[in-house]
DNA sequence: GCAAAAGTGTTGGTTGTACACCCATGA
DNA sequence: TCATGGGTGTACAACCAACACTTTTGC
């Protein structure tokens, strides 16, 4: 009985443009699913480490590189691929859109940031993979402070709040949000403020990752 | 470039004997890692669905069958197998020890429930897999009411508390635990009480899964 | 001066935590 | 009658949700 099976990796890359949550998709230039939108993904080679493979695939198809990919789930239904049996390992990541301009290549004729709300069906079972990634993302946002990867280095508390509102898909009270976040004590207030805005300039903050790790190591729980 | 890769499935099966958390292990009768303890696991066949494969493997090696296995993680380091490259998909489950007496067969010379605290190193990277499963188990126990699978159908609140104490590895206040659990309103108090115990007989409860699903569907969060 | 977003406190209700004694039972 | 675990209540602290006005800025 055959026990060697093709494995692929697929990447769900989330970005945020200060208003909406987006995902990095490619348009396939080849069958199967020619001209369909799909998650960037390709076969795993036998000498590739899994996470490296995911990074390589992503780079090959979209030019996005060197990001931290986290394993999401394995999808292995017998019928998930139209011809072969292919087991796919899905990875996901959060990145800053403005620092990751996609450039299509290989079998991707296009590679673009697409708004979540505009995404319909995708190639293979990629829509299911995306939905799973979205559920995971929401759970993560409630359970601990993530998502700083989706923002620029310096951000205002309103930007951070809008991100949470976009991901959790619900409005959040400005004052309570601010208090809760600042109490956690891993946001570093900067001297710098917004400029050229038609309203009171907001203070910038940066995420103090070291402080966060320190607190997390002490077992502190950051519920949201 | 070769892109077909052997895949295996490994199962981390947790049980609880009213005192300690245990895991179902096999002793391998074949190389590699002959005579080492290992998680029950074997190759995935090309026509097997993933979860079925995990159930089949578990049944073949230990006789434990028809349990709900949840996907844990994929382990795919290039060096995790001494000769080939094998990517493994780990599954985990919680079962009631007294209803799942292991019977070794196939390449398992033994199949036993082993106390977590007694487990040293295991074959392959199985120790790492076990550690990951333990971390997941603890997180699950905090985040929602799980673990009823580890108990008999009817159980006392003390049994439930001892389970939580064993998994979370910390003592819990009797009164607070009781209040918190009962407030969640998915434990069904039964008329039946303990018998032949040298102290006041405790009331039995059962887990009202329907009520739980109903509450969960309403978006109620059960933090512990 | 107006539109737009920033920033700021208080209150009432809920929840979590710490803690100690009496009860029922079998040996 | 003693040892064992079952079962119960309260008080204080911490946390959360709801809510409105003043400030700064560019146009």
Each residue's pLDDT tens digit, B137-193: 999 998 777 899 999 999 999 999 999 999 999 999 999 999 999 998 899 999 999
Give span(s): CATH 1.10.10.10, chain B: 151-217
Query: Among B111, B166, B176, which residue's Cα sits nearest to residue B138?
Result: B166
Do the chains contact at A89 and B76, CB–CB below 8 Å? yes
Confidence of residue B214 (pLDDT cuts 50, 70, 90): confident
- For the segment B122-126, the average pLDDT, to the nearest whole number, is 97
pLDDT at A224: 75
> What tens digit of pLDDT does each residue of B41-86 get?
999 999 999 999 999 999 999 999 999 999 999 999 999 999 999 9
Per residue in B190-209, is it b (16+ CB within 10 Å) or e — as a string? eeeeeeeeeeeeeebbbbee
C1' of D23 to CA of A197 (Å): 14
Q: Answer whether any strand C atom is within 7 A of the Cβ of A78.
A: no
User: Where on strand C do bases come within 7 A of a protein Cβ?
Assistant: 3-10, 16-20, 23-27
C1' of D8 to CA of B179 (Å): 11
- For the segment A87-115, the average pLDDT, to the nearest whole number, is 97
Q: B205-214, long-range: CB within 8 Å, 24+ apart, which pairs?
A: B205/B154, B205/B155, B205/B156, B205/B157, B205/B160, B206/B153, B206/B154, B206/B155, B207/B145, B207/B148, B209/B148, B211/B185, B211/B186, B212/B145, B212/B186
- Is the pLDDT at A142 greater than 90? The verdict is no
Does B54 contact chain A (CB < 8 Å)?
Answer: no
- Residue found by looking up tokens 């780990």 in the block: B90
**Closest protein residue to D26 (Cα–C1'):** A198
- For the segment B121-150, the average pLDDT, to the nearest whole number, is 93
> What's the token pair of residue B151?
């108990």
Tell me the pLDDT of chain A averaged across its residues: 94
pLDDT at B192: 96
Q: Considering any atom of strand D, list protein residues whose CB lies within 7 Å.
A: A 173-176, 180, 195-201, 223; B 156-158, 174-176, 178-179, 193, 198-203
Does B77 contact chain A (CB < 8 Å)?
Answer: yes
Confidence of residue B194 (pLDDT cuts 50, 70, 90): very high
pLDDT at B221: 72
- For the segment A127-143, the average pLDDT, to the nearest whole number, is 94
Chain B residue numbers with beta carbons less than 8 Å from the beta carbon of A76 are 49-50, 89
Confidence of residue B136 (pLDDT cuts 50, 70, 90): very high
Chain B residue numbers with beta carbons less than 8 Å from the beta carbon of A45 are 1-3
Q: Which whole-number Å values give the CA distances from B155 to A62, B115, B146, B166, B204, in the listed order?
A: 55, 21, 14, 16, 5
Do the chains contact at A3 and B43, CB–CB below 8 Å? yes
**Closest protein residue to D27 (Cα–C1'):** A198
Share of chain A above pLDDT 70, in %: 100
Confidence of residue B38 (pLDDT cuts 50, 70, 90): very high
Give span(s): CATH 3.90.79.10, chain B: 7-143
Q: In chain A, what is the straight-line distance between the N-terminal and C-terminal CA atoms, in Å? A: 50
B151-217 adopts what CATH topology? Arc Repressor Mutant, subunit A (1.10.10)
Is-contact B143 B164, C-beta < 8 A?
A: no
Do the chains contact at B77 and A46, CB–CB below 8 Å? no
> What tens digit of pLDDT does each residue of A164-190 get?
999 999 999 999 999 999 999 899 999
Confidence of residue B1 (pLDDT cuts 50, 70, 90): low
Whole-angstrom distance, CA of residue A57 vs CA of residue A51: 10
Give nearest nucleotide to A199 (CA–C1').
Answer: D25
Whole-angstrom distance, CA of residue B97 vs CA of residue B104: 15
- Is the pLDDT at B218 greater than 90? The verdict is no
Whole-angstrom distance, CA of residue A23 vs CA of residue A93: 10
Q: In 10 A of CB A151, how many CB atoms?
A: 22
Q: What CATH code is assigned to B7-143?
A: 3.90.79.10
Give nearest nucleotide to A175 (CA–C1').
Answer: C8
Does B78 contact chain A (CB < 8 Å)?
Answer: yes
pLDDT at A11: 98
């Amino acid at each position: 009985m055959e026990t060697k099976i093709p494995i692929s990796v697929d990447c769900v890359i989330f970005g945020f443009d200060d208003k909406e949550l987006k995902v990095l998709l490619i348009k396939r230039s080849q069958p199967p699913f020619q001209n369909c939108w799909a998650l960037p993904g390709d076969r795993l080679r036998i000498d590739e480490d899994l996470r490296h493979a995911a990074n390589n695939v992503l780079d090959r198809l979209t030019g996005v590189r060197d990001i931290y990919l986290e394993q999401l789930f394995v999808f292995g239904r017998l019928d998930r691929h139209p011809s072969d049996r292919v087991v796919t390992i899905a990875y996901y990541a959060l990145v800053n859109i403005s620092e990751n301009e996609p450039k299509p290549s290989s079998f991707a004729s296009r590679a673009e940031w697409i708004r979540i709300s505009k995404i319909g069906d995708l190639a293979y079972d990629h829509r299911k993979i995306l939905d799973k990634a979205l559920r995971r993302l929401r759970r993560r946002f409630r359970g601990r402070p993530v998502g700083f990867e989706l923002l620029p280095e310096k951000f205002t508390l309103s930007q951070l709040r809008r991100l949470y509102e976009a991901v959790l898909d619900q409005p959040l009270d400005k004052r309570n949000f601010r208090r809760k976040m600042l109490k956690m004590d891993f946001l570093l207030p900067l001297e710098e403020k917004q400029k050229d805005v038609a309203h009171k300039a907001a203070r910038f903050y940066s995420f103090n990752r070291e402080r966060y790790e320190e607190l997390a190591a002490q077992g502190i729980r950051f519920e949201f």
